[in-house]
């Protein structure tokens, strides 16, 4: 069994060289800016965010990801953001820098954000890959990836909130993708060297149900994600917010991935927020891991001249 797991990891690391480049998050319903540049500065607050995710805990060479982000308004219309993303999958290391730009405006009851992300990604294999017994000697692609892939990428997105209740979000990752290295590509796929406009997308749709006088909200939503080199994924999300967001609970069900779900708990204290989520799969692979864990902590600072406060708290965003 140990040999089977080791071999599976070796194959997994090789496939990862050409895998999707968009990070996987379970807490995007709380922090849409993680996947959509159109949400940059949307809450009219300066937000500092740190996210840590361990996928398939207990599995050899499991993906571990770390994200640091900032986003906030620049005046009434513009917003800027930036982030650093680091991921390690076995011998594969990825480092990504991104800058977000967004334009925000309102048409009657509709609040709209239009955003652009530019990214520089460096992905390389550690030298240990060349001595791994599961890696074929003399493989040009494996050896070249030790020097590292360098990729420039851009994504666009929009987020719309209507009447403080209904929201829709659409992002297009990898809309302008350019390889900055000369590493050979298996099969000579030209799409690996350049982006394909609107080929990949992340769509969200949801509604905010408030209970007047009961101090809680329920937010059902749907997300459909088709990102680079991954199958179509459908998420059914349900979120509850209680006691002015001092208690937050969420559930995500993913029937499109063979059966999986994520449970989330969070809390808010003044300007700080803390979230934890646990992902579990229903397939056979779950017996080889203890699920996936994700933590996010954020700190928000109101922009000067922002919306007035109600009952001592800032007027809350859509989520």
The residue-averaged pLDDT of 49-73 equals 91
How many of the other CB atoms lie within 10 Å of CB of 3?
8
What is the tally of structural domains in the chain? Answer: 1
d(CA 59, CA 235): 24
What confidence score (pLDDT) does residue 15 get? 42
**Residues sharing a CB contact under 8 Å with residue 271, sequence separation 6 or more, in sequence order:** 299, 300, 301
Residue 99 in any domain: the answer is: yes
Residue 270 in any domain: the answer is: yes
Residue 319 in any domain: the answer is: no
The CA distances from residue 101 to 32, 52, 79, 115, 280, in Å, are 15, 24, 6, 6, 35
State which residues form the domain around 251: 2-314
How many of the other CB atoms lie within 10 Å of CB of 63?
21
Q: What would the pLDDT profile of 292-306 be if each residue is shown by its tens digit? A: 999 999 999 998 765
How many of the other CB atoms lie within 10 Å of CB of 319?
20
Residue 175 in any domain: the answer is: yes
Q: What is the CATH number of the domain that holds 72?
A: 2.40.160.40
Q: What would the pLDDT profile of 181-229 be if each residue is shown by its tens digit? A: 766 555 445 555 555 566 889 999 999 998 877 788 999 999 999 887 6
Give the highest mean pLDDT range of 68-72, 172-176, 283-287. Answer: 68-72
Q: pLDDT band at residue 61, thresholds of 50, 70 and 90?
A: confident
User: Is-contact 249 236, C-beta < 8 A?
Assistant: no
How many of the other CB atoms lie within 10 Å of CB of 171?
26
Residue 121 in any domain: the answer is: yes
Q: pLDDT band at residue 230, thresholds of 50, 70 and 90?
A: confident
Q: What would the pLDDT profile of 7-19 be if each residue is shown by its tens digit? A: 444 444 444 444 4
User: Is-contact 71 47, C-beta < 8 A?
Assistant: yes
What confidence score (pLDDT) does residue 62 get? 84
What confidence score (pLDDT) does residue 312 get? 39
User: Is-contact 114 102, C-beta < 8 A?
Assistant: yes
3-state secondary structure string across 106-159: EECCEEEEEEEEEEEEEEEECHHHHHCCCCCCCCHHHHHHHHCEEEEEEEEEEE
User: Which of residues 5 and 50 earns the better pLDDT score?
Assistant: 50
What confidence score (pLDDT) does residue 196 get? 59
Residue 203 in any domain: the answer is: yes
What confidence score (pLDDT) does residue 299 get? 97
* Helices and strands in the chain: count of H runs, count of E runs: 2, 18
The residue-averaged pLDDT of 106-131 equals 88
d(CA 134, CA 118): 36
d(CA 74, CA 102): 10
How many of the other CB atoms lie within 10 Å of CB of 108?
7
R_g (Cα) of the chain, nearest Å:
20
Q: What would the pLDDT profile of 27-51 be if each residue is shown by its tens digit? A: 999 999 999 999 999 999 999 999 9
């Amino acid at each position: 069994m140990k040999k089977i797991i080791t071999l599976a990891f070796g194959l997994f690391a090789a496939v990862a060289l050409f895998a999707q480049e968009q990070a996987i998050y379970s807490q995007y319903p709380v922090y849409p800016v993680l996947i959509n540049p159109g949400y940059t500065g949307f809450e009219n607050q300066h937000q500092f965010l740190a996210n840590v995710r361990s996928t398939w805990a207990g599995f050899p060479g499991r993906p571990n990801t770390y994200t640091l982000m900032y986003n906030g308004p620049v005046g009434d219309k513009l917003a800027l953001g930036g982030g650093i993303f680091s991921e390690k999958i076995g011998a594969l290391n990825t480092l990504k820098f991104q800058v977000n730009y967004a334009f925000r405006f309102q048409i009657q009851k509709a609040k709209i954000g239009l955003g652009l992300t530019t990214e520089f990604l460096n992905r390389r294999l550690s030298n240990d890959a060349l001595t791994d017994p599961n890696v074929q000697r003399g493989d040009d692609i494996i050896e070249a990836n030790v020097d590292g892939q360098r990729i420039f990428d851009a994504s666009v997105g929009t987020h719309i909130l209507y009447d403080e209740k209904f929201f829709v979000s659409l992002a297009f990752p990898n809309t302008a993708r350019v390889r900055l290295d000369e590493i050979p590509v298996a099969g000579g796929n030209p799409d690996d060297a350049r982006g394909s406009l609107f080929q990949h997308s992340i769509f969200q749709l949801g509604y905010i149900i408030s209970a007047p006088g009961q101090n809680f909200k329920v937010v059902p939503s749907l997300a459909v994600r088709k990102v680079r080199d991954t199958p179509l994924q459908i998420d059914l999300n349900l979120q509850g917010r209680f006691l002015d967001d001092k208690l937050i609970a969420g559930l995500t069900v993913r029937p499109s991935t063979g059966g999986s779900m994520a449970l989330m708990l969070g809390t808010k204290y003044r300007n700080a927020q803390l979230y934890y989520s646990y992902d579990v799969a229903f397939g056979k692979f779950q017996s080889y891991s203890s699920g996936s864990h994700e933590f996010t902590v954020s700190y928000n600072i109101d922009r000067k001249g922002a919306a007035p406060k109600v009952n001592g708290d800032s007027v809350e965003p859509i989520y």
